[in-house]
Amino acid sequence: MSFRIESFGLLTTVQDLGRRGYQHLGVGPGGAMDEVSHRLANLLVGNPAEAATLELTLSGPTLQFKTETLIALCGADLSPTIAGQPVPLWRPVLVGTGTQLRFGRPVEGVRCYLAVEGGVQVPGVMGSTSTHLSAGFGGFQGRPLKVGDRVEPGPGSGERYPSLRRRFRQGQSLFLAPDWFVPWSRDLDFIRPSVLRFLPGPQWPLLTSASRQSLLESAFQVAPNSDRMGLRMQGPKLSLERPLEMVSSGVATGTLQLPPDGSLILLMADRQTTGGYPRLGEVASVDLPRAAQLRPGETLRLAPMALPEAQALLLDREVRFRELEGVLTELQSR
């Protein structure tokens, strides 16, 4: 069971939940930019949350499936089709032998996650299969996928969704999906402008009062030079009460940095491990998948929140994942 890259998209990489425990060596966690969509796609095909998926950015590749394969697409709608027919997101999909999956115009969002039953199989590096693009390791030979690459899924049970498989084999279609879907797209808030909630950081009190007001009341646009390392924001210029010389210190995914030009940077999955810019805050973990789906030119706002509220929201999300896992386990046996 394998599939081949027939044409490449803008940026297609292998990602999992990231590598942990190596920041003291200068290696950041990396991993899927939108953890929610990555995890949901895996759950839909019966994979563990940490299994590797393909992260498709803005325009996806054309994939040729060599055998019947169970897949799921979650996250951005990049107009997936098979033989000109739209392929639904947020549900399991059985695709037939020799089927070509294509992607077209991005309708909403930036990153779509393709999970295959058994997970994408690539060698692990430092406990993770995620692609580290700047260092050139992990994933598929440390690089984006290109034409001619053959991707191998791991062994799947071949027994999930037995009634769906029977219907598929009795019919004439190239793919088949159930009528139900996982209604989690609202968590990504594709209705713009998006609001990202943050916990004020150590240098927040050092902003001028005018800058604090501007940050809380103004809209920011995602700059064109944003990438997996960080979202650069265009908006009002922010400044501190006085110049500040800082020793580099640890940063996290979600750190809001203020460089000397006064424009905010939101650090994302492929961020560095330390930084010397003032840290104005940390975007709540539950809002980072929403940030990962913002396109260049789209608008966002920032809103402060307290740590207990951020923790409660994250706990609630994990409870929902547990509940969904139970429901899907039942559905996969039917």
Final residue in a domain of this structure, among 166, 184, 202: 184
* CA proximity to 122, closest of 105, 143, 147, 139: 139
**Segments forming the whole domain that contains residue 32:** 3-184
Output the average pLDDT for the chain: 95
131 plus 237 within the same structural domain: no
* Number of separate domains in the chain: 2
CA distance 89 to 86: 9
| 60 and 84 housed in the same domain | yes
The helix (H) or strand (E) run that includes residue 197 is strand 194-200
Tell me, yes or no, whether 48 and 170 share the same domain.
yes
Examine the domain organization and report whether 233 and 124 are in the same domain. no
Is the residue at 327 inside a domain? no
Domain match, 68 and 130 both: yes
CATH code for the domain of 309? 2.40.100.10
- 29 and 111 together in one domain: yes
Q: Based on the fold, state whether residues 200 and 296 are members of the same structural domain.
A: yes
Cα 271 from Cα 49, distance rounded (Å): 22
Tokens 């019966």 sit on residue: 46
Looking at the fold, whether 155 and 260 belong to one and the same domain comes out as: no
Residue 29 belongs to a domain:
yes
The 10 Å Cβ neighbour count of residue 133 is 19
Identify whether 331 is part of a domain. Answer: no
Sheet of 69-77, strand order: 11-15, 53-57, 108-116, 69-77, 92-95, 175-176
- Is position 109 within any domain? yes
Tell me the pLDDT tens digit for each residue of 201-234.
Answer: 999 999 999 999 999 999 999 999 999 999 999 9
Is 321 inside any structural domain?
A: no
Strands laid side by side in the 150-151 sheet: 85-86, 81-82, 100-102, 62-65, 3-7, 150-151
The reply to whether 322 falls in a domain is: no
The whole-model pTM stands at 0.96
My answer on whether 20 and 164 are in the same domain is yes
- Cα dist from 10 to 13, 97, 217, 235, whole Å: 10, 26, 34, 27
Same domain flag for 297 and 159:
no
Residue 93 resides in a domain: yes
How far apart (Å, rounded) are the C-alpha atoms in residues 327 and 322?
9
Does 298 lie in the same domain as 175?
A: no
What's the confidence (pLDDT) of residue 245? Answer: 81
pLDDT at 8 (0 to 100): 83
In the listed set 139, 166, 184, which residue is the last one of a domain according to the structure? Answer: 184
If asked whether residues 97 and 123 sit together in one domain, one would say yes
pLDDT in tens, the chain (334 residues): 679 999 989 999 999 999 999 999 999 999 999 999 999 999 999 999 999 999 999 999 999 999 999 999 999 999 999 999 999 999 999 999 999 999 999 999 999 999 999 999 999 999 999 999 988 999 999 999 999 999 999 988 889 999 999 999 998 899 999 999 998 877 887 777 789 999 999 999 999 999 999 999 999 999 999 999 999 999 999 999 998 888 899 999 999 999 999 999 999 999 999 999 999 999 999 999 999 999 999 999 999 999 999 999 999 999 999 999 999 999 999 9
> Rounded distance, CA 157 to CA 216, Å?
50
User: Across the chain, how many H-helices and E-strands are there?
Assistant: 5, 21
Cis peptide before 193 (omega within 30 of 0): yes
Closest by CA position to 87, among listed 97, 100, 98: 100
- CB of 224 closer than 8 Å to CB of 331: no
